Amino acid sequence: MSRLIRLDRTGHTELASWTSGDPASERAAIGTFRRELDEGMLASISRPDGTAEVVRELPLDAELVVMRRPISGG
């Protein structure tokens, strides 16, 4: 089971979850993902080597995709 979450005021919110090979849940997750991007959120997946990668298409094989807000210099 893969999850799409958003970091927000509640700590985080699970926006979608999908199972590989279940087209309906995958389609729903992709739709939610695109809506979040349209609202200005950025998507990130963690790699095993401790780095992270920005993604612009929902990677259906990822276990966890995190939506975050942009950062800026203080």
Partner 1 sequence: MSAEAASTADRPVLAEAAAIPWRRRTTERTLRRDGRRWTLWTSGVVLTFAGPAAVLIWLEPLTIPAAAFWFAHGVAVTHMQARRGARSVVPIGSERSAAWKPVPDGPGREAEEPSPDEVALGLLGDLIGHEERDLLKETGLALQRGRLGVWLVGEEGAILVRPGGRRVYCHCVRVSEVGDLPAGDRVAHLLLALREDEEGFGTVANINFSGGARRVRRRLPKRSRPAFDRARQLAQLQE
Give the pairing type, strands 2-6 and 64-68.
Answer: parallel
Q: Which residues contact 60 (CB under 8 A, 6 or more apart)?
A: 2, 18, 20, 26, 29
Kindly state whether residue 8 participates in binding partner 1, applying the rule CB under 8 A.
yes
Give me the least distance between CB of 47 and partner 1, in Å please. 8
Binders of partner 1 in range 14-53 (CB under 8 A): 42, 44, 46, 50-53
Quick check: helix, strand or coil at residue 28?
helix
Give me the least distance between CB of 24 and partner 1, in Å please. 27
- Give residues in contact with partner 1 (CB under 8 A): 5, 7-12, 42, 44, 46, 50-54, 66, 68-74
